[in-house]
Structure 1
Amino acid sequence: MRFLATERATLQRFMPGLDDDLARIPLADLERPGNPALALFKAAGGTGLLIPTEQGGDGATPLEAVRVQRAIGARSPSLGIATTMHHFSVASLAEAGLGDGWEWMLLEGIATGRLLVASGFAEGRSGAAILSPTLRAVPHGDGLRVTGSKKPCSLSRSMDLLTASVAVTGEDGRDRMAVVVVPVDSPGLEVRPFWNNFVLAGAESDEVVLKDVEVPGRLVVMTGNTADQQPDELQTSGFIWFELLVTATYLGAASALVEGVLEAGRADAVERAALAVEAEAAMAMLEGVARAVEAGERGPDVLARVLCVRYAVQDAIGRINRKAVELLGGMSYIGSGDAAYLTAACAGLMFHPPSRTHMSGQLCDHFAGRPLRVG
């Protein structure tokens, strides 16, 4: 079986023709702002990957999802990151439980309308807890009025909907967190330039600003206490999905380098095989934890396992990149910018929350029997 054959077959099953379409476009063109990749993804029906079949989606399993993301990441890291945010948002919506079954109608609309959903959930920021939202809200009618900004926010230019976590101050003065769904045409929503790096520019990671945006109650679900560093059930599930998908995407980008080495066939077979073994072993780790999630395992223990796999794959990607560039040789490096670009793109994994540095103490506490914290 050819390298990446399983992943590309899975992508073909869920999004027919997308891999072939992406393969025909130079990498540099796929990674630019305004590239055609997101339109191709929508046309192939990719927005419904994680939406249950009952709501018109594909109902992909976690294992199938990580295989799809590896295949996409190998063609376009920017598309992989952008679609990770969409799938993570959709998976969170599916578990959020909007009132009166509204989430099911919303999910059906996303699948049948091929809508793109951006993520405005809390992320790590200097001096702030990971679970602390950047958006704040006050009660307004049966819903909320939301103000603040999210930066970076992938899919900012192509999104149809924004999902976001917001801090809502209650009458007791304590903050609770809510999840809101905001249509892109809502008055008070604005997109501003933010991403200044050419690497992963195609993911459209600019700033989304909300000024007194009104969100009706049917598009709001109240969750946990923002002061609590222990993630609630919804946050834990969201972290698990995010880490699975984003890790698979970056492994896909590194796998594109491995594929280049295997196709060139110039390096010693022992070194070529070692490179492929490293990539496949990393994928096997990721598939293992995806199978556990598929079997229904959830909670802090699974999140800790997912984080361990993410950091191990992160290390493997670094080794893969260094060796692959060496084996491709200087003339390949000089003749095309693809290898240098993929290596730079893969570095992005270390910046996604929660970072290894941030989580080291928490993981040590967890393995000593204390509750897992991510704040």
Structure 2
Amino acid sequence: MTRHDGVEPFLTEDRLAIQAMAREFAMREVLPVANELDPVHGEIPMSLREKMAELGFFGILIPEEYGGLGLGLAEYAIIVEELARAWMSVASLIARGQQFTAGFDQDQRARYLPKMARGEFLSAFALSEAEAGSDVANMSCRAVPDGDGWRISGQKMWCTFADGSDYLQVFARTAPVDPRHRSRGVTCFLMPKQRGTLPEGVRGTPVRKIGYHGWKTWELSFEDAYSDIVVGKEGEGFRIAMGDLETARIHTAARAVGLARGALEDSIAYAGVRVQFGRPIGANQAIRFKIADMAAQIEAARALMYQVCTEVDAGRSGNVKASMVKLVASEMAERVTSEGVQIHGGAGYTTDFPVERYWRDARLTKIFEGTSEIQLKIISDSLLGR
């Protein structure tokens, strides 16, 4: 697919084929499971995870030499949008096999990346704490040397998939806080474990969430838990934690676009069958204008996402623009999914229709991977200076 002006379109033939494959999988395999399990807080089935692995979804960004697909953020975002249109939790699960690997040395890449690409070594990210959410540098979880390894003690919050993962990626202080450079002295550790369990020395309590169902999110207590696997160098944990945020924020933008599209498509369908005052509500200008505005907002956010993906894949730094698209897409998703609930009326406020799931999950996109307020700070600092 080419254009006469010589400019290659974003959606090339290869990407359109990837999009079609992901869309068919999402609507056939993911959406029915989401509609069944999300209302009862059921967990993503292992059979679905295995089908995702067969399609290579856990290795989109992993180089071919390690068994991955070796694709870029553009293809990643396309697939994520399609999966999120069905269930955001499934669209989030694929990150557990290919994100959060910044800092791996060559031996670790050779050891872990092939298993990640096959969906056999999926992560849970233990970074945030009660007093270290947006202020990640304010970390109190500590690690002290013990023989060839370390003993980790402290609390972690918001560790999604801690039980279902194959390892925890844990960030802990290995040096006292330097008031001038609070981000220094944090080290990244891996804790391999069996699926369905927490590591020895780690206790957990599931968080009572209003959404993001399909897997549990945990508050964890580390009590002299042991790890002898350090990622990167001692004291470089903060840099490692921040190293994947560009990808993570584009990932969140794609999830937000997918959620919004789900609300739009469901609202169009509902407006065609819901009859009031003798005709479908889709004949009313008020509903038609809502749907038109929803579609325009989605298209604008998606266009920015495609632009940012193109720049990052071309090797141009996209940190600020990744913050921009994360901000724009997540704020858009909350508005659009809320309008979807409104179009559904009272039915939208029940769990009988998926639109309420999109609404609940869209609200989370404004919080994780850096809140909207954090994105505004990053963007304003880049324009005005710190």
Quickly name the TM-score band, shorter chain normalised: 0.7 to 0.9
Q: What SS does the corresponding residue of 1:96 show, helix, strand or coil?
A: coil
For residue 317 of structure 1, what is the aligned residue in structure 2? 333
- Separation (CA, whole Å) in 2 of partners of 1:212 and 1:152: 20
* 2:226 corresponding residue in structure 1: 214
Which residue number corresponds to residue 52 of structure 1?
Answer: 63
Contact 2:44–2:90 (8 Å) recurs in 1: no
Which residue of 2 is the match for residue 197 of structure 1?
209
Output aligned runs, 1:227-306, within 5 Å. 232=239, 234-266=240-272, 267=282, 268=285, 269-298=288-317, 302-306=318-322
* Cα pair 2:268 2:291 within 8 Å, conserved: yes
Contact 1:146 1:213 in 2 (8 A): yes
Q: Which residue of 2 aligns with 1:120?
A: 126
What's the CA shift for 1:286? Answer: 1.4
Return the letter of the residue paired with 1:36. I
> Structure 1: how far apart are the matches of 2:104 and 2:65?
16
Structure 1 residues 138 and 14: alpha-carbon distance in aligned structure 2, compared to 1, 3 A threshold: farther
Does structure 1 residue 20 correspond to structure 2 residue 20?
A: no
**Contact 2:61–2:72 (CA<8 Å) still a contact in 1?**
yes
> Which residue does 1:91 correspond to in 2?
99
Per-residue deviation at 1:348?
Answer: 1.0
**Is this contact kept in 1: 2:173–2:187, CA < 8 A?**
yes
Alignment CA distance shift 1:118-1:64 (3 Å): same
Kept after mapping to 2: 8 A contact 1:14/1:49: no
Task: Note if 1:344 corresponds to 2:351.
Answer: no
Instruction: Tell me the matched-pair count.
Output: 353
2:306 aligned counterpart, secondary structure: helix
Do 2:174 and 2:234's aligned partners in 1 also have CA atoms closer than 8 Å? no
1:256 to partner: Cα distance = 0.8
8 Å contact kept, 2:43–2:213: no
CA RMSD, aligned part only? 3.5
Determine if contact 2:253/2:326 at 8 Å carries over to the other structure: yes
The 1:130/1:264 distance shift into structure 2, 3 A limit, reads: same
SS of residue matched to 2:121 = coil
Q: Distance in 1 between matches of 2:85 and 2:175?
A: 43
Structure 2 residue runs without a partner (length 5+): 1-13, 273-281
User: What residue is the counterpart of 2:82 in the other structure?
Assistant: 71
Give yes or no for contact 1:257–1:339 (8 Å, CA) kept in 2: yes
The separation in 2 between residues aligned to 1:121 and 1:274, in whole angstroms, is 38
TM-score, normalised with respect to structure 2: 0.78
Amino acid at match of 1:22: V
- Does 1 or 2 have the higher relative contact order (CA < 8 Å, sep 6+)? 1
| Contact 2:271–2:343 under 8 Å retained in 1 | no
Q: CA deviation at 1:104?
A: 2.0
Distance change in 2, residues 1:142/1:12 (3 Å): farther
Residue 168 of structure 2 aligns to which amino acid in structure 1?
L
1:269-296 deviation line (CA, Å, top 9, x unaligned) = 5543332221121111112112211111
Q: Do structure 1's residue 105 and structure 2's residue 121 form an aligned pair?
A: no
- The offset of 1:180, in angstroms, is 1.5
* Partners of 2:169 and 2:46 in 1: CA distance: 18
Letter matched to residue 103 of structure 2 = A
Instruction: Please state how far the C-alpha of 1:12 moved relative to its aligned partner.
Output: 6.2
- Cα gap change, 1:223/1:263 in structure 2, threshold over 3 Å: closer, same or farther? farther
Q: Which consecutive unaligned segments of at least 5 residues does structure 1 have?
A: 1-5, 371-375
Residue in 1 that maps onto 2:373: 357
Instruction: Tell me what 2:278 maps to.
Output: none
The residue identity in structure 1 corresponding to 2:308 is V
Identity among equivalent pairs (%): 19
Structure 1 residues 122 and 25: CA distance shift in structure 2, 3 A? closer
SS at match of 2:214: helix
Q: State the Cα distance separating 1:28 from its structure 2 match.
A: 4.6
